[in-house]
Structures are given as structure tokens and as C-alpha cells.
């Protein structure tokens, strides 16, 4: 009887896991051609994969790597974030020493000395039509690529009281900034007005009022799709649908950690989280975590259902490292930037082993 119950449970767990994406992972490091194993950002442009590393920009194409450095015009060797203009295939490159643009095989760079960039430390960048929005250590900025005019956003003309902008995302109707120590800023394209979202309890260490607002002031990433905002912090994640907030913590969700480097939503519901303890996925009900196990470093996939039951799914490969910085999508596959290499998750079909 006991054996029958166990067998039924394992069978149900296997079916349950099939509802969540499973991957066969291949990993790239300096041994394969990366300029550095610390990969901060990854950006997919069709069959071209761009990787921003601690020692240059790398392009993976036709099975080979090409590396771009400051000698090629890159503003700084440390590339923190990448954003693609899907219409022109121009790549915008946020670095520790300015904003760079790769277009038609050429790199041009913008700094405080030659442009309206407010600070040379650029943490994030996103494209909104002809506008390029950037997040810097001294506020946000917007470049109109038609007129080459810059606009600066800081404590003087927005509700932010800290000017360390860490990430930015844009859609047709809204632009959102993750401001380190100052919550999330929303820019309404139609009204040109700014709105600020704060942690309502103003507590640094605990969450007193769950689901009453942004989970924490120290925000690291924002993602906005289908009028749903996700915000990542070093103390959990928040989801906002324009009326209601919902917060997620390691203790009551499938997040492997409250320390989040990036959040990226597919459609407002299906969402990916890059954390210091693994890559996590949420489909609105179930959770999955992909990583090398923290103790044994063996490949590991954990699944958590709506009731909180955690199941270990047998896998043979894993991302390069559990400390993840960000992801991008290539059809059904994903690419993951980690602290010890770049990982390619090849989506497996039901029945694949």
C-alpha cells in the first residue's frame, strides 16, 4: 500500500513538473571565448547573442565569439546592461564609463563630456521608439535619437529623493525607473507626469504591511508588460496591476531568495527572477527554480505548487552558476547571465529526458 502511494505521488509530481518549462543547459565561459566569466547582461537579436561582461562586450554568432573592448570604442570595459532597438537592430550598451551604441559595425559612445548624459556610470537602458531612456548614478535621462536632444530627470523635476537610478523599462504608455533607496518612479507618456511608489511601512528589515504597496525602497529592476508592473528589490518582489499590489517573499513563495537582481515578465503573469540563489520562474500558480545545488553543486530543478509543496525534478544539467544577473528570450529558449558564465537553456519537449 505504501509503495503504491509513493509511486502515485511520484507520477503526479512528474506530470506536475511537465507544466513548467524544462531546459537542457549549455554553458559558456572564458574557455569557450567569453572575455570574462562575470556576465551582467544578455541580449538576443535573432541568431545573434550579445553578452555584457566585466571585461568587454561579446557577440556569439554562427558558433563563434567576437569581443569588443575600449579599443573598439566601447565607453568602459564593464558592460552592465544591454538593450536592443528591434526596429533598427541598434544595440545600446550601458557601461561603468558611459553609454555606447553599436550600429552597422561601429561603436559610438556618449559621456558627460560629449553629450547630455547626467553621469558616466550607466546601470540601465531601454528603447521606446525613437527615444532611449537611461538609468545612471545621478538620475535618469532620455535621448531623442531624431533630434539628438537630451532630457535629464532627477530630484529637481521628479519625486525621487535619491538619484541613484538602477534600471528602467518602457512601453508605449508608461516608463518606470527602479531608484535605489527611492522606490519606483512612473512616467505617464500622455500626461508627462511623474508618480512615485514607496514602501508603505518604511521599514528596512521587515514587511509590516504585506500587499499594501511596494515591498521595499531598494529597487533593482522593473518590468512592464500588458499594463502589469513587476519590481525587483533586495528584499523580495512586487506585482502591481494598476489597482492592487501583491508581494512575494522567499518564505511564502517559490523565490529561492529575496535578493533579486532582475525581474523580467513575459506577459504580466509568466515571470522570471534572477536571484543570488538561482533563476526562478512563476506562471501565476506554480514556481520553478533552476540552479546548481547550493551545497553539492549538482544540477537541480525545484518545483513549488500552490499549496507550498516542493518537489525535486530529476535533471542532468543546470545554469553555470546560482548567482544570476539577468535573462533574455530566444523563441522558447532562454539565455542567462551569471557570475560564472553565460548559460543557454534549450527548451525541452514533454517526454524529453
Does position 203 have pLDDT exceeding 70, yes or no?
Answer: no
Instruction: Tell me what the pLDDT averaged over the chain comes to.
Output: 93
**What's the confidence (pLDDT) of residue 207?**
60
Q: pLDDT value at position 5? A: 38
Is residue 53 over pLDDT 50?
yes
Higher-confidence position of 209 and 15: 209
CA 92 to chain centre: 16
Say yes or no to pLDDT of 109 above 70.
Answer: yes
Average pLDDT over residues 260-267: 98
Of residues 141 and 206, the one with the higher pLDDT is 141
Mean pLDDT on 173-184: 96
- For the chain, the structural domain boundaries read 1-61+286-353, 69-153, 173-277
Specify the higher pLDDT residue, 303 or 17.
303
Question: For residue 212, what pLDDT band results from cuts at 50, 70 and 90?
Answer: confident
What mean pLDDT do residues 25-47 have? 98
For residue 9, the model assigns a pLDDT of 38
pLDDT of 204 > 80? The answer is no
Q: Is the pLDDT of residue 8 over 80?
A: no
Residue with the larger pLDDT of the pair 202 and 239: 239
User: Does 4 have pLDDT greater than 50?
Assistant: no
pLDDT at residue number 214: 95
| Mean pLDDT to the nearest integer, 241-268 | 97
Q: Average of pLDDT values for 62-79?
A: 98
- Cα distance between residue 182 and residue 216, in whole Å: 9
- Average pLDDT on 55-72 reads 97
264-92-319-232 Cα dihedral, nearest 10 degrees: -30
Measured distance CA(165)–CA(139) in Å, rounded: 5
- Which pLDDT score, from 0 to 100, does residue 69 have? 98
Strand partners, 329: 334
Average pLDDT, integer, range 199-227: 82
Strand partners, 312: 302
For residue 10, pLDDT over 80 is answered with no
The mean pLDDT of 84-105, rounded to a whole number, is 97
Q: What's the per-residue H, E or C state across the chain?
A: CHHHHHHHHHHHHHHHHHCCCCEEEEEECCCCCCCCCCEEEEEEECCEEEEEECCEEEEEECCEEEEECHHHCCCCCCEEEEEEECCCCEEEEEECCEEEEEECCEEEEECCCCCCCCCCCEEEEEEECCEEEEEEECEEEEEECCCCEEEEECCCCCCCCCCCEEEEEECCCEEEEEEECCCEEEEECCCCEEEEECCCCCCCCCCCCCCCCCCCCEEEEEEEECCEEEEEECCEEEEECCCCEEEECHHHCCCCCCCEEEEEECCCCCEEEEECCEEEEECCCCEEEEEECCCCCCEEEEEECCCCCEEEECCCCCCCCCCEEEEEEECCEEEEEECCEEEEEEECCCCCC
Does position 353 have pLDDT exceeding 70, yes or no? Answer: no
Distant-in-sequence, close-in-space partners of 15: CB < 8 Å, separation ≥ 6? none
Place of cell 554562427: 62
Amino acid at each position: 500500500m505504501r509503495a503504491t502511494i509513493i509511486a502515485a505521488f511520484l507520477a503526479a509530481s512528474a506530470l506536475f513538473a511537465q507544466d513548467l518549462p524544462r531546459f537542457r543547459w549549455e554553458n559558456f565561459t572564458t574557455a569557450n571565448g567569453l572575455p570574462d566569466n562575470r556576465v551582467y547582461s544578455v541580449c538576443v537579436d535573432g541568431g545573434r547573442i550579445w553578452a555584457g561582461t566585466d571585461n568587454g562586450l561579446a557577440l556569439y554568432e554562427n558558433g563563434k565569439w567576437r569581443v569588443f573592448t575600449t579599443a573598439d570604442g566601447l565607453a568602459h570595459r564593464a558592460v552592465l546592461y544591454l538593450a536592443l532597438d528591434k526596429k533598427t537592430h541598434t544595440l545600446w550598451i550601458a557601461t561603468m564609463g558611459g553609454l555606447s551604441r553599436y550600429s552597422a559595425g561601429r561603436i559610438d559612445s556618449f559621456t558627460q563630456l560629449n553629450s547630455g548624459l547626467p553621469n558616466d556610470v550607466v546601470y540601465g537602458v531601454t528603447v521606446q521608439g525613437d527615444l532611449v531612456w537611461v538609468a545612471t548614478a545621478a538620475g535618469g535621462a532620455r535621448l531623442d535619437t531624431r533630434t539628438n536632444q537630451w532630457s535629464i530627470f532627477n530630484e529637481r523635476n521628479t519625486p525621487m529623493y535619491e538619484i541613484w537610478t538602477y534600471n528602467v523599462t518602457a512601453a508605449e504608455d508608461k516608463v518606470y525607473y527602479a531608484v535605489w533607496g527611492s522606490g519606483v518612479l512612473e512616467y505617464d507618456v500622455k500626461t508627462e507626469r511623474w508618480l512615485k511608489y514607496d514602501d508603505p511601512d518604511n521599514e528596512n528589515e521587515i514587511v509590516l504591511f504585506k500587499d499594501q504597496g511596494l515591498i521595499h525602497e531598494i529597487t533593482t529592476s522593473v518590468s512592464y508588460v500588458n499594463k502589469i508592473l513587476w519590481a525587483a528589490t533586495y528584499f523580495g518582489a512586487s506585482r502591481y496591476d494598476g489597482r492592487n499590489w501583491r508581494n512575494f517573499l522567499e518564505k511564502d513563495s517559490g523565490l529561492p531568495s529575496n535578493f533579486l537582481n532582475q525581474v523580467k515578465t513575459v506577459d504580466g503573469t509568466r515571470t522570471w527572477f534572477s536571484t543570488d540563489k538561482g533563476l526562478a520562474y512563476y506562471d501565476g500558480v506554480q514556481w520553478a527554480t533552476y540552479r546548481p545545488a547550493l551545497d553539492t553543486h549538482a544540477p537541480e530543478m525545484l518545483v513549488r505548487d500552490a499549496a507550498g509543496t516542493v518537489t525535486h525534478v530529476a535533471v542532468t544539467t543546470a545554469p553555470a552558476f546560482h548567482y544570476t544577473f539577468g535573462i533574455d528570450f530566444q523563441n522558447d529558449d532562454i539565455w542567462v547571465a551569471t557570475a560564472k558564465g553565460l548559460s543557454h537553456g534549450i527548451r525541452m519537449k514533454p517526454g524529453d529526458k
